[in-house]
Amino acid sequence: YGPLTWLTIPGQNILVVNSLEVAQELLDKRASIFADRPKFTMAAELLGMTRFITFSPYGDWWKTQRPYFKHALSAAVVRSDYSPLIEAKAQEYIARCAARPESALSEANRITAEITIKLIYGKLEDKRGRDYIQISNRISDIMTYAFQGYVVDLFPSLQHLPGWLPGMKFKRDAARWKKEIQEGVDAVFELAKENTVRGMTLTNHRFMWIDLKEGPSSFAHELYPGLAMAHKTSFQSTNQIAADPTEATMQSFIRAMVLFPSVQEKAQAEIDRVVGSGRFPTFNDQTDLPFLHAVILETLRWNPVASFGVPHVSRQDDVYDGYFIPKGTSVMANAWGFSRSSKYYTNPSMFDPERYLKQPSELDPREFVFGYGGRICPGKDLAFHDIWILAVSVLWAFKL
């Protein structure tokens, strides 16, 4: 289809970009033009999901939230502040898998969410026995449902009709789901606030909750007029941008190791040589495990987390190579196509970590799997950090 594919559905123009170079030109170099998000009526107007950073439209809220996430989830902060916690959680994951091997995939979901909640709020002790991981997973499920596409997204005026009319089930669903989301984010927020007021140490680094102790002079207070809302949405936002990619990639990694045992054996031989059996792997081993690093990169390429990512939307008319792109066009980069292109990869249908070890190395999939421009995933460094330690720990402990 060439570098650009144009689609039109009622009320919406869609541009699918099939060339990485074109995607980088539009979404990186012209990031300010293509920094908006689609206006999903169901998810945005009826459920209020625009407060979560992944789906926030271009505007003041997004522009104030993003620098905070970018700082708190930067590579330097992740490595210096979060590594001990992530290593400890990886060891917990191994213990759980050893006790219940059949739960390896479901535990990957839980452990990544636990890392996120621990980083943001610290230890949440709820005497009422609520499971905050289940709350978060339920909100994620609702988000998945909301973005599957509803007739109200094509015909927004339907949202103003009474919910009892035939065909208006989406309004009843939206009312119920919005209540669940609000109750979920409020529950986590209020418990963390209560624990902070009681003087509990929630975290040992500067993230969301330290400014409840420090007051208006803290970093977050300087950025946010709507501080409480920023806190309430921080967990679910971070789950979307770090935990969800980690979980999906770990599931792909485990499947890849089962499907390609020779790759697994080579990675395990490297780990045995560097780490041995007398201790757990740590991030200090990272530079000494180049093949494992290549295996993780190949996993990202082999099964990209999001085939087309979250669409960007043009904020104004633009022209590329003679093609007119009107304001409001949804632009989607074809990550799956990039991952399977012989332009970027030799034998792209093969699972071959060696492609990243030869000189010159083939394209690092992180160039396209985590997004572009100002909308690039701010949790990409935390996600890759999580994936690395979980992957090395699994291969250190088990033969899959």
**What pLDDT, in 10s, does the model give residues 81-121?**
888 888 999 999 999 999 998 888 788 878 888 887 777 76
Tokens of 378: 């701010």
Q: What is the DSSP letter of 53?
A: G
Q: Give the span between the Cα atoms of 398 and 258, in whole angstroms.
A: 11
Stretches where the chain sits below pLDDT 50 are: 200-225
Q: How many CB atoms lie within 10 A of CB 359?
A: 4
Tokens of 174: 């939206």
Q: Give the span between the Cα atoms of 220 and 347, in whole angstroms.
A: 48
97 is in an annotated binding site: no
Digit-coded pLDDT (tens) for 298-315: 999 999 988 888 889 999
Q: With contact defined as beta carbons under 8 Å apart, do 236 and 136 qualify?
A: yes
- At 285, which amino acid appears? D
12 has which bridge partners? 9
Ramachandran category for residue 364: left, alpha or beta (phi over 0 → left; psi -120 to 50 → alpha): beta
Helix H or strand E encompassing 324: strand 323-325
Q: Give the span between the Cα atoms of 393 and 239, in whole angstroms.
A: 22
Enumerate the domain spans of the chain.
Answer: 4-397
4-397 CATH pick, 3.30.2010.10, 3.20.20.10, 1.10.630.10, 3.30.420.40 = 1.10.630.10
Radius of gyration for the alpha carbons in the chain, expressed in angstroms and rounded: 22
pLDDT in the model for residue 160: 84
